[in-house]
Amino acid sequence: MSSYVTTPHHHHHHGCCSGSRRLQAPAPPARPRLVVAAAARHVALPPRRAVASRAMSAEAPLGVAPAAAEEEMAAVVDEMAEEAAVWCAVHGLVVGDRAEPRSGTIPGVGLVHAPFALLPTRFPASFWKQARELAPIFNDLVDRVSLDGEFLQDSLSRTRQVDDFTSRLLDIHAKMMEVNKEEDIRLGLHRSDYMLDSGTNSLLQIELNTISSSFPGLSSLVSELHRTLLNRHGKVLGLDSKRIPQNWAATQFAEALSMAWTEFNNKRDGQTVSVVYFRAGYSPNDYPSEAEWRARLLMEQSSAIKCPSISYHLVGTKKIQQELAKPNILERFLNNKEDIAKLRKCFAGLWSLDNEEIVKTAIEKPDLFVLKPQREGGGNNIYGYDLRETLVRLQKEQGEALAAYILMQRIFPRASLTHLVQGGVCFEDLTISELGIFGAYLRNKDKVVLNNQCGYLMRTKVSSSNEGGVAAGFAVLDSILLTDEYGLET
């Protein structure tokens, strides 16, 4: 999904949610004043302890004064939640409000703060460095795979038979191959999503998004919100605002689009479309009639730079992710052995349902796996008992239906108590987090104009929820607080 806060996109996970891409908040609570409520489920800690526990656990590596007493902490939480909600309104950290019928139809009407975590999530600096270093390698990989049209067609040939949407995308791709259309200038705005797996103490990739990689705008703002809060209250909390990495995702994506326009260099400015950016087009719902498919084909046939091109779009499918994880496949596209090793290190287990041994294991131990259909957007992944039932049914049916899914190792991030603010209400819950690293890539024939990591998206979600769509109300926007320890402390 790709995309959790994105929404609905697992996209965008098992976390795995990518996001889909419109953030909307739930109906606001009846009480007008900002309230701080403790989640009733958590009786292990007294209701006010979440911020304290988050702060104190970070205290040792940060070398700041010890966290304050509980009463003081409760007052600080109240104050911060209110300040943060005001900051969101002033700085545009807002989304459409589903409770307001005119929201989305009249500009400026029906907005509410985006759901957010009150404090940044601790994240080991070693894993942060690893995730950032992977971005340019993945950018390069997407570009190289996109040039191998036969690999894309062959890898997705069985998916085509069971998934009409993928089939239509492949038809457009095949037409481009027939006319040997070359995209001299190629622009990719990507986001690779990761979780820290507590079992293996490793950073594992959830998915790679190559179309409408959402949230560069809001994620940049959340980092700023947290920095502002810690500049004011950091001493009391024992947290240092300098530990929050700068996040220029929105600016850097805008610069990449601008650089693509410059490379296109069309003198008849104003008469020719130079760059097409797809904010939609990744979901079957975006094509209600043949007219939309005709438009997609027309754009693909044009001389404009497409972000993404049809081949970049296909590289982002879950089936291609699974194919690239097979032995010796990365070597087909990349020469640098160190880069290949870095990618392999972050790959979670990925299998097609042709693998009878792994299907058998998944039926026996369904909690160790996630079943993912070849679909963008959250709300589609299958877990636990449902996963077992689905596999048993698919085995009985045999046939091509198996090709509509991939099996993925389930990642188990460490859960922590967190203060979440949604619809003006601050509450505590156990959460897990997912880090997305934005990357921009621009190439003109043989010249790589740009290949960078461009900031990040941190989504934090209530750990009892399988899907991550922020818009779906399961996840909040977050930022990270870098810590020195290597790996996850227990």
Q: b/e string for 53-91 if b means 16 or more Cβ within 10 A? A: bbbbbbeebbebeebbeeeebbebbeebbbbbbebbeee
Q: Is 323 annotated as a binding residue?
A: no
Relative orientation angle of helices 290-301 and 164-178, to the nearest 10 degrees: 30
One-letter amino acid identity for 158? R
Q: Is 265 annotated as a binding residue?
A: no
373 labeled part of a ligand binding site: yes
pTM recorded for the entire structure: 0.84
pLDDT, position 59: 37
What is the set of domains in the chain, with CATH numbers?
A: 112-215+241-348+411-483 (3.30.470.20)
Distance, CA of 101 to CA of 424 (rounded, Å): 19
Question: What amino acid occupies position 291?
Answer: A
Judge whether 342 is annotated as a binding position.
no
* Residue 129 assigned to a binding site: no
Average pLDDT of adjacent 10-residue blocks, the chain of 490 residues:
34 34 40 39 33 41 52 87 97 94 92 97 97 98 98 95 93 97 96 95 96 96 98 94 97 97 82 93 96 98 97 96 95 98 96 90 94 72 92 83 87 93 91 96 97 97 65 78 68
**Cα–Cα distance measured from residue 234 to residue 222, given in angstroms and rounded to the nearest whole number:** 16
Cα→Cα distances 3→131, 139, 222, 257, 443, Å: 17, 17, 18, 21, 25
Q: Which residues are catalytic?
A: 191, 207, 209, 214, 318, 372, 376-377, 459
Which pLDDT does position 17 carry in this prediction? 34
Q: Is 434 annotated as a binding residue?
A: yes
Q: Do the Cβ atoms of 98 and 27 come closer than 8 Å?
A: yes
